[in-house]
Structure formats: structure tokens, C-alpha cells
Amino acid sequence: MLPLPTLPANASAGPDTLITGELTFKRFNSKEPEALVIGANCTMDGVHFSLGEKGRVRIGDYCYFTNVVLLCEVELRFGNYVVVGWNATIADTDFHPLAPAERIADAIACSPAGKGRARPEIPKRPVVIEDDVWIGPNATILKGVHIGRGAFIEAGSLVTRDVMAHARMMGNPAQVVGEIR
Amino acid sequence: MNPDRTLPWDWYPGRIPENVLVDDSAYVETSFSFYLFRSQSPRGVELGRGASTYLGTMFDVGPHGRVKLGDYALVHGARIICDTEIVVGDYALISWNVVLMDTYRVPFNALDRRKELERVPTRQPRFAAADGTARPIHIGRNVWIGFDTCVLPGVTIGEGSVIGARSVVAEDVPPYTVVAGNPVRFVRSLTP
């Protein structure tokens, strides 16, 4: 009953992986030869794969994502058995520069009048999420974050720094509130 | 609602399940809200007098789940993840992208979680169905919950309280209190 999108030519998915949604690849702009590689037995329910020209996303086996927004300019790497809850956002970029003058230059380059103008350098760093991580609904994971195996990110958390394996995180910014074994 | 339990104004070709009790004066915008509904309870979802659910509201209700929306309760696009009981009081206002979850759905233990994730691809539609650790959520009468807020398992929110936008509520909120933040903290009291 849900729309089944066609995979872009530079994307692949393993056996019994299900991808649903209407806007799944609407902003899939990666030119990398293997931009998106999804393993077997995954459920990608309404996931939004927004990839820049050099974006690469790797997803392991038995992952379950519900309406997740993936914003990728460099690399997002997920292990196996990763659960990401409804409406969570994971980004490997800051989208715009921090310095005010550079941000003006970026606003012009991004505008309809800025055709062909190069954008300034924007901070971006890969996000790595290891096996058995659970990320709750409405959570946000920012650039450069490495989440260790088995960590548990509570619903609505905003993660700005690396997370130790098996840590339970909560809050904005997310803090360690316990341990999950 | 039509006699065959379709909705005259619906964009989605679905029906309202038999165990969803909708008052004649209540409004359901789309049957798509029940795409993940699989409750076997005789009163899986109840909508009181003048209660309403709009686009984006999802009743992701497991086999033993029961959801009750009180009279004039307004749910405008919340994700309701229920394995035991979620009660929304009369006159409550629930904003968009709010998550009400009485369960984490999958087991905390990574090995048990793997077993459950291995079952997901065998189900149609796919869903995670594990585990008996759900704890009911009770949202009092006249409560207002701001957008993007998450209410975690076991939470009770007292009558007349207000939860600020983008909050995460992990503990009970007393009546007539404004709280906000992630995790929430006290902002001020309200006069009943």
C-alpha cells in the first residue's frame, strides 16, 4: 500500500530490504559510484536520503529506520541491527559556515542569483554509528559524532559529541544518564 | 464515517478498524492513521465527543494497546506508540510531531533486540513487536503539549499543565505547571 521508490543507479540494497516512501530519493544528488549501500533484511520506512554530490551512506543488515532524515555531504556509516526512530535527523555537515562574512558569501552562492559561484568551505565530518545502537524518535545526531556499540539514545536527544559503547544518553545537549547492557 | 467504515473525505483507501470507537461528533482526517494499528482489544482506540485527529497522527498500537482521547481532545499529528495504555484527557491539545510512547518496542538487551529485528522482515506490514515492559501514559484534562515533544513510558501529566515545544518528558508533571526543556524543568505554576 505504501509507495515503493526506484533505487538510483548508484544505490544498492540487499535481499529482503524494504524501502518505502514518496520523497525517499527526491534530494539524492550524489555522484559517487556507490553512493548508497544498504545491507540485507533492512526496513527503511519513509526514510529521506538527502545526499550531496560526494555523499556516501553505508547501512548494515537488519537495520530499522522509520521516517528518518539522513543529510549527508561526506559519509554516514551504520553498523548492523541499528534502530533509528521516527523523525530522527542525522547530519554530517553544518550546512553553512560559522563566520558571519562567510555566511553572507554562502547566502549569495546558494541564492537563485548566485549561479556558478563557489560556496565557502563548510565544516563536515563523517558520522559513525556502530552495531546495536538504538536511536529514539525525534532525536538529532550532529556531524562528526561516533556512537559506540549498543548505545541507547533517548527520544528527542540532541547528540553533539562521541558516545561511549553501551551508554544511555538523554537531553539537549545529550548527557550520559546510565548504561545499557 | 460511511457504513463500510471508510471516510468520505479520505485520500487513503483504508477503513477505520472495528475496534476503533469514534463518537458521532468526533473527526478522523484519514484512515492512514491506522496503518500500523493492530490492537486486538475491544476498545483499541476511543475518540470522545468532539475529539479530533488530523493529518500525520499515527496510531501505532500493539495487540494489547488501548488509546483513549477524551471529549474535545485535539491531536494534530502525533505519533502514538502504544503497547498498553495511553489516555489523553478532555480538552487536551497535542501539537504536531509529538511522540507519545508507552513502550520502547524493542528489548533493551542487544541480543534480544537482534532476535526481534530478525523477525521484522517476516511481517507484513513490517513492525517491531517485542516485549512486555510497556508503562501507561496518562495525560490529564486540559493539558497542552507543544510541538516535537516526546513523552516517555510511564509518565503522568497532571490536569491543566503546559509542556513547552521540543521538550522531553521522562518524569511525572504535577497539575497546573508549565515545564519545558530536554529533559524538562519547572518554569512556573498556573492558577487553576
B76 domain-assigned: yes
Q: Which three cell numbers stand for residue B169?
A: 518528558
Whole-number percent of chain A with pLDDT over 70 = 99
Q: Is residue B5 part of a domain?
A: no
Contact A156 B101 (CB under 8 A): no
The stretches of chain B forming alpha helices (DSSP H) are: 110-119
| Rounded to 5°, angle at Cα B111 from A48 and B115 | 65
* Per-residue pLDDT at B131 exceeds 90: no
Contact residues for B96 (Cβ-Cβ < 8 A; gap 6+): B56, B76, B77, B78, B147, B148
Contact list, B97 vs chain A (CB under 8 Å): 87, 138
Q: Is the pLDDT of residue B39 over 90?
A: yes
- B45 in Cβ contact with B60 (< 8 Å): no
Give how far B98 is from chain A: nearest CA, Å: 9
Q: What is the dihedral of CA B128, B132, A176, A138, to 10 degrees?
A: 40
3-class DSSP assignment, residue B33: helix
Return the biggest CA–CA distance within chain B: 53
Position B130 pLDDT exceeds 90 = no
**Is B2 part of any domain?**
no
Confidence of residue A31 (pLDDT cuts 50, 70, 90): very high
Rounded Cα distance, A54 and B178, in Å: 45
- pLDDT: which is higher, A3 or A138: A138
Number of neighbouring beta carbons within 10 Å of residue A126: 17
Q: Is B168 within 8 Å of A83 when comparing Cβ atoms? A: no
**Whether the predicted pLDDT of A178 surpasses 80:** yes
Residues of B with Cβ-Cβ distance to A138 under 8 angstroms: 97, 99, 148, 150
**What are the backbone dihedrals phi and psi of residue A169, each rounded to the nearest 5 degrees, phi first?**
-115, 150
> pLDDT confidence of A95, banded at 50, 70, 90?
very high
Q: Which positions of A are catalytic?
A: 96
Chain B closest CA to A23's CA: distance in Å?
16
Neighbours of B175 (CB within 10 A): 17
Report yes or no on B7 lying in a domain.
Answer: no
Q: Do residues B154 and B166 touch, judged by C-beta distance below 8 A? A: no
Residues of A whose CB is below 8 A from B78: none
For the segment A109-135, what is each residue's pLDDT rounded down to a tens digit?
999 998 889 999 999 999 999 999 999
pLDDT digits (tens, 9 = 90+) for A34-67: 999 999 999 999 999 999 999 999 999 999 999 9
CATH code where residue B131 lies: 2.160.10.10
Tell which residue, A156, A80, A179, A42, has the closest CA to residue B109.
Answer: A179
- What pTM, to 2 d.p., does this model score? 0.94
Q: End-to-end distance of chain B based on CA atoms, in angstroms?
A: 37
Among B150, B163, B169, pick the best mutation site for testing chain A contact (most A Cβ within 10 A). B150
Indicate the SS3 state at residue B116. helix
Give the residue numbers spanning the domain of B53: 20-189
Beta-carbon separation of A81 and B106 below 8 A: no
Residue B151 lies in a domain: yes
3-class SS of residue B23: coil
Q: What is the pLDDT of residue B181?
A: 97
The whole-number average pLDDT for the span A82-88 is: 97
Domains held by chain B: number: 1
Return phi, psi of residue B184, to 5°.
Answer: -70, 150
Q: Are A51 and A36 in contact (CB under 8 A)?
A: yes
- Strands (E) located in B23-171: 27-28, 45-47, 52-53, 58-61, 66-69, 74-75, 79-82, 85-88, 93-94, 99-101, 137-139, 144-145, 150-151, 156-157, 162-163, 168-169
The 10s digit of each residue's pLDDT in B79-107 is 999 999 999 999 999 999 999 999 999 89
The answer to whether the CB atoms of B97 and A138 lie below 8 A apart is yes
Instruction: Tell if the CB–CB gap between B168 and A156 is shorter than 8 Å.
Output: yes
**CA-wise closest residue to A136 among A162, A172, A161, A92:** A172
Q: What is the pLDDT of residue A96?
A: 95
Task: Give a yes or no: residue B4 inside a domain.
Answer: no
Residue B96 DSSP code:
T
Residue B1 covered by a domain: no
pLDDT digits (tens, 9 = 90+) for B3-24: 999 999 999 999 999 999 999 9
Mind telling me how many Å the CA of A149 is from chain B's nearest CA? 10
pLDDT band at residue A1, thresholds of 50, 70 and 90? low
B156 is a domain residue: yes
Per-residue pLDDT of B47-64, as tens digits, reads 999 999 998 899 999 999
Q: What is the mean pLDDT of chain A?
A: 96
CA atoms within 13 A on the CB side of B52: 12
Domains located in chain A, CATH noted: 11-179 (2.160.10.10)
